[in-house]
Amino acid sequence: MPKKFIKRKEQREKKRIALERVNILFSLAERIFPYDRELANRYVGIALAVQQKAKVRMPRKWKRRYCRRCHSFLVPGVNARVRLRQKRMPHVVIKCLECGHIMRYPYLREKKERRKKKEMEGKLIQKGRKIK
Ligand SMILES: [Zn+2]
């Protein structure tokens, strides 16, 4: 096997391991959060270091579970406020109650997809009626 491919394979393996560790660290943070927030935040810090070093994307599941500014682990309703806003662009507003940082995540794409799906379903229903 050429060296290039071996290297690529190695890198893929590294990324896979990094992702696995990010997942484990966030799961630990979630579990320990009710008992020890400080420790939960430390897990997040390590997870972020791993993620940045390996240059992997933050899994969707955890993307909104930490503060971008103070790196606190966030639990909606406990130390994070989550609101939906429609102004200008539909988005989710997550406010970190530890440091007051505000993060916005647009969900226009999700909305579009949903609309598409609904339209499709509508068409199917119409078709069904026609057959009857
Ligand atoms: Zn914060």
Q: 102 C-alpha to center of ligand 1: Å?
A: 8
Q: How far apart are CA 27 and CA 41, in angstroms?
A: 12
Query: 83 and 49, same structural domain?
Result: no
Residue 17 phi/psi, 5° resolution? -65, -40
pLDDT in tens for each of the 132 residues of the chain?
677 788 888 889 999 999 999 999 999 999 999 999 999 999 999 999 999 999 999 999 999 999 999 999 999 999 999 999 998 889 999 999 999 999 999 988 777 888 888 888 888 777 666 555
**Structure tokens given for 84:** 């939906």
Query: 71 and 46, same structural domain?
Result: no
Query: 101 and 58, same structural domain?
Result: no
| Number of domains into which the chain is organized | 2
Are 41 and 72 in contact, with CB atoms under 8 Å apart?
Answer: yes
Q: 95 C-alpha to center of ligand 1: Å?
A: 8
Domain of 121 in residue numbering reads as 65-132
Q: 19 C-alpha to center of ligand 1: Å?
A: 23
Q: 79 C-alpha to center of ligand 1: Å?
A: 9
What b/e readout covers 63-88, taking b as 16+ CB neighbours within 10 angstroms? ebbbbeeebbbbbeeebbeeeeeeee
Work out the number of other CB atoms within 10 angstroms of the CB of residue 106: 13
Confidence (pLDDT) at 61:
94
Confidence (pLDDT) at 32:
97
Query: 18 and 46, same structural domain?
Result: yes
The whole-model pTM stands at: 0.79
Q: At 102, which amino acid appears? A: I
Q: 68 C-alpha to center of ligand 1: Å?
A: 7
